[in-house]
Amino acid sequence: MALKPNAHTCRIREQTVEDLPSGLTLHFQARGGDGARLVIAGKLLPRGSHEIVFDTEGRSSASDRCN
């Protein structure tokens, strides 16, 4: 949903956000009609990077460590 009355929406297929204060990197990736994937990575995570897979309804369908 657009926040402004005359604004348009767009589809984001992939986005990487690096949070410098926390040292975390968030990588979001749309998977066509199959939902989305989120990877949280950073040196401060004691058990390594984490991957979370979401279904088309936005519910978490899988979660795993990447390392």
The predicted-structure confidence for 14-36, as pLDDT tens digits, reads as follows: 999 999 999 999 999 988 778 88
Place of tokens 């297929």: 13
The overall pTM is greater than 0.75: no
CA dist 65 and 53 (Å) reads 12
**Higher per-residue pLDDT: 53 or 4:** 53
Structure tokens at 8: 């348009």
> Which pLDDT does position 48 carry in this prediction?
85
The pLDDT assigned to 45 comes to 86
Across 39-48, average pLDDT = 88
